[in-house]
Structures are given as structure tokens and as C-alpha cells.
């Protein structure tokens, strides 16, 4: 439950300034994509993680995709 309160996020990450919390989202999404490839695609030459980030005044959009040439769900 630590990640659901401001004090919990600061405790677990060390980021007291909320402007850095966006990087936590990117880090977690990248970790998940890489973990999937590590588990199912070790030794494959076509394994990849693609990141697209767009930002406007009102919206931060992050899309992270990993390859799945073997169609593993």
C-alpha cells in the first residue's frame, strides 16, 4: 500500500519532488517489458522494447511495447 500515499511513494522511491514521479511510471513499464523478454525470449536476436513518449500541456502519453515474435501472451 506504500505506493498509494504520498508519504509511501517518497519512502519507497526517495523522490520527494512530484515532478520526478513520471520517471517512475516509465521505469516500471520498461521493467515489465524487459522482464517479459528476459523470461520468454532469452537468446532471440529479434527481441526488443520500443518506447514512445509524447507530451502536451495537458497530457503525458507513454507507450512501451516489447516484441513477441512467438505470439506469447
State the pLDDT confidence band at 2, using cuts at 50, 70 and 90: low
Distances from the Cα of 43 to the Cα of 2, 39, 40, 49, 72, angstroms: 36, 11, 9, 15, 15
Per-residue model confidence as pLDDT tens digits over 12-36: 889 999 888 888 888 888 999 999 9
Backbone φ/ψ region at 71: left (φ over 0), alpha (ψ -120 to 50), beta: left
pTM: 0.68
Of 26, 32, 20, the C-alpha closest to 52 is 26
Of 57, 3, 54, 53, the C-alpha closest to 29 is 53
pLDDT (0 to 100) of residue 52? 93
Amino acid at each position: 500500500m506504500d505506493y498509494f500515499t504520498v508519504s509511501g511513494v517518497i519512502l519507497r522511491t526517495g523522490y520527494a519532488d512530484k515532478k520526478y514521479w513520471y520517471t517512475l511510471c516509465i521505469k516500471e513499464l520498461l521493467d515489465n517489458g524487459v522482464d517479459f523478454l528476459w523470461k520468454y525470449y532469452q537468446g532471440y536476436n529479434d527481441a526488443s522494447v520500443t518506447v514512445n513518449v509524447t507530451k502536451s500541456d495537458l497530457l503525458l502519453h507513454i507507450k512501451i511495447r516489447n516484441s513477441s515474435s512467438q505470439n506469447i501472451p
